[in-house]
């Protein structure tokens, strides 16, 4: 089979393999290559705020019907809450049964420095009132400049509702924002050309800094996390997809480039712009994509939810803290709040874990040091699960609102030059089955 080296998917895979190789052979040099991934993430974050703002305003403003906006938003939030709570419960159940933390030697955690995470968690307190206050920006422009997702969402929704209420008067604004969105997506396409380099740098750093041997001690926890997320995607999201008459495996195949990008960068945010574009081609309406996807990046983090519940109980097990059924239920309630404040960027799950443990003092926060060496590896799994979960949520809301074109994926498949005709017929048939 001929390999197309111009294909971005192939390039990202090559970057990941080379990164692992360099990190293993030249660990000190590999650890220094993190800057390549950092530059790429900064480039992506540079365009995230305006893209989210414009797409939400276009999505809401072009609907015109404010009742429809409220209905779609309400359905999305209800879906997010149900599915993420289910993810949290699954994580707690699996880690309680497998008990990967039992018999763990916690002596190595005493000297590790987790102050940067606990300090960030304190600065971004996840108390109920603090969380609500953080949603409302004191200055919308400052929120855009700082890339603060929740305030941007809040301001964009208000702007979109105001635009929709003006009707035809606001149509020039919608047209302008659509043209600006096209420009920003053109910038994204330029940035994506260096994504294989970013994946190379990220993997070289991970292996060079932590080494292949760093996976051994916490392999049981990592295996539990990966297996749980795999079954969550296949069984839970798969069942949801089947109910709404699309195939989870065909969908995953369709967004494989975005998944590989997330695998390389450990950030679901890096794939957000292209994911929105892909979902529109898949058949979801522009208005649903513009409203559901950005909101899901704060309220529908399935992978982060699974990770938080399993990591918190793993630490409790490692320190011999026995949690009662009531305490587990309380932890679930705390996680239902803190998991909604995690952004889709690398390391945010670790910071949110610190905030969770701060609100649940019976689990020692210094136990986070046990996870420092392998958090990078688990962040890839949770970022991929977040990405797939948000994609499924968007299709579900679009289908439930009759805002889904079943021919969309067929057209997207035909326009993909890399795949064979037979493979397209198979995947398309499954997608519209």
Query: How far is C-alpha 384 from the geometric centre of its chain's CA atoms?
Result: 6
Average pLDDT over residues 195-211: 79
Cα 364 to Cα 391: distance, rounded to the nearest angstrom? 35
Bridge partners for 404 per DSSP: 284
pLDDT at res. 359 = 65
Residue 169's alpha-carbon distances to 61, 158, 192, in angstroms, are 11, 17, 36
pLDDT at res. 375 = 66
Which of 363, 343, 332, 275 has the alpha carbon at shortest distance from 303? 343
Average pLDDT over residues 53-60: 79
Which of 50, 57, 51, 291 has the alpha carbon at shortest distance from 171? 57
The enclosing H or E element of 347 equals: none
pLDDT at 404 over 80: yes
pLDDT at 396 over 90: yes
Average pLDDT over residues 346-365: 67
Question: How does residue 430 score in pLDDT terms, banded at 50, 70 and 90?
Answer: very low
pLDDT at res. 240 = 95
pLDDT at res. 424 = 31
pLDDT at res. 235 = 93
Question: Per residue in 74-119, pLDDT tens?
Answer: 888 899 889 988 998 899 898 888 888 776 655 544 544 545 444 5
Instruction: Give me the long-range contacts of 22-28 (CB less than 8 A, separation at least 24).
Output: 22/200, 22/204, 22/207, 22/208, 23/203, 23/204, 23/205, 23/206, 23/207, 23/208, 23/209, 24/207, 24/208, 24/211, 24/212, 26/208, 27/207, 27/208, 27/209, 27/211, 28/208
pLDDT at res. 426 = 36
Cβ-based neighbour number of residue 372 at 10 Å:
16
Percentage of residues in the chain with pLDDT exceeding 90? 12
pLDDT at 425 over 70: no
Cα 102 to Cα 125: distance, rounded to the nearest angstrom? 30
Average pLDDT over residues 345-373: 66
Mean of pLDDT over the chain: 77
pLDDT at res. 195 = 81
Which of 249, 225, 219 has the alpha carbon at shortest distance from 237? 249
pLDDT at 39 over 70: yes
| Three-state secondary structure call for residue 33 | coil
Q: What is the pTM of this model?
A: 0.68
**What values do phi and psi take at 139, rounded to 5?**
-145, 115
Cβ-based neighbour number of residue 221 at 10 Å:
24
Cβ 215 vs Cβ 222: under 8 Å: yes
- Domain 8-431 bears CATH identifier 1.10.3860.10: yes
pLDDT at res. 390 = 93
pLDDT at 329 over 80: yes
pLDDT at 368 over 80: no
pLDDT at res. 212 = 64
Which of 86, 78, 41, 79 has the alpha carbon at shortest distance from 303? 86
Residue 195's alpha-carbon distances to 95, 192, 412, 416, in angstroms, are 34, 5, 22, 19
pLDDT at 423 over 70: no
Question: Per residue in 260-307, pLDDT tens?
Answer: 888 877 777 778 888 988 999 899 988 888 888 887 877 788 888 898
Cβ 320 vs Cβ 422: under 8 Å: no
Average pLDDT over residues 399-424: 62
| Three-state secondary structure call for residue 284 | strand
pLDDT at res. 117 = 45
Place of tokens 């975005």: 258
Mean pLDDT highest for which of 168-182, 202-216, 325-339? 168-182
pLDDT at 213 over 60: no
Least confident of 11-15, 174-178, 239-243, 364-368: 364-368
Average pLDDT over residues 410-419: 54
Least confident of 12-16, 63-67, 157-161, 290-294: 63-67
Please indicate whether residue 130 or residue 58 has the higher confidence score (pLDDT): 58
Question: How does residue 374 score in pLDDT terms, banded at 50, 70 and 90?
Answer: low
Cα 30 to Cα 212: distance, rounded to the nearest angstrom? 13
- Alpha-helical (H) ranges within 218-343 are 219-231, 238-243, 248-254, 256-265, 272-282, 286-299, 302-318, 325-338
């Amino acid at each position: 089979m001929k390999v197309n080296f111009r294909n971005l998917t192939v390039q990202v895979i090559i970057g990941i393999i080379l990164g692992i190789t360099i990190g293993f052979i030249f660990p000190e040099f590999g650890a220094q290559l993190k800057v390549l991934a950092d530059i790429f993430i900064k480039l992506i974050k540079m365009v995230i705020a305006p893209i989210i703002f414009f797409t939400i305003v276009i999505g809401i403003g072009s609907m015109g019907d404010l009742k429809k906006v409220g209905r779609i938003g309400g359905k999305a939030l209800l879906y997010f809450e149900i599915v993420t709570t289910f993810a949290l419960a699954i994580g707690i159940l699996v880690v309680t049964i497998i008990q990967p933390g039992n018999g763990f030697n916690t002596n190595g955690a005493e000297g590790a420095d987790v102050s940067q995470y606990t300090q960030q968690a304190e600065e971004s307190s996840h108390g109920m009132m603090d969380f609500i206050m953080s949603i409302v920006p004191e200055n919308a422009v400052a929120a855009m400049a700082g890339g603060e997702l929740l305030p941007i969402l809040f301001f964009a929704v208000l702007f979109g509702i105001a635009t929709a209420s003006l009707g035809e008067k606001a149509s020039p604004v919608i047209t302008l924002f659509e043209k600006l969105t096209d420009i920003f997506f053109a910038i994204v396409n330029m940035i994506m050309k260096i994504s294989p380099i970013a994946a190379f740098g990220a993997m070289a750093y991970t292996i060079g800094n932590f080494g292949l041997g760093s996976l051994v001690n916490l392999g049981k926890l990592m295996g539990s996390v990966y297996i749980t997320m795999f079954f969550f995607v296949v069984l839970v999201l798969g069942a949801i997809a089947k109910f709404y008459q699309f195939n989870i495996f065909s969908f995953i195949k369709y967004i494989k480039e975005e998944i590989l990008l997330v695998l390389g960068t450990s950030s679901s945010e890096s794939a957000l712009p292209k994911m929105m574009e892909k979902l529109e081609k898949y058949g979801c309406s522009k208005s649903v994509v513009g409203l559901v996807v950005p909101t899901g990046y704060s309220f529908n983090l399935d992978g982060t939810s699974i990770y938080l519940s399993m990591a918190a109980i793993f630490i409790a097990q490692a320190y011999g803290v026995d949690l009662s059924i009531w305490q587990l239920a309380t932890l679930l309630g705390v996680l239902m709040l803190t998991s909604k404040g995690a952004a889709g960027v690398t390391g945010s799950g670790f910071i949110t874990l610190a905030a969770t443990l701060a609100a649940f003092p019976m689990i020692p926060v210094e136990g986070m040091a046990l996870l420092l060496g392998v958090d990078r590896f688990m962040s890839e799994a949770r970022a991929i699960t977040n990405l797939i979960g948000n994609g499924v949520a968007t299709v579900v809301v679009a289908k439930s609102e009759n805002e889904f074109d079943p021919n969309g994926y067929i057209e997207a498949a035909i326009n993909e030059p890399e795949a064979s005709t037979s493979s397209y017929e198979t995947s398309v048939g499954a997608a519209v089955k």
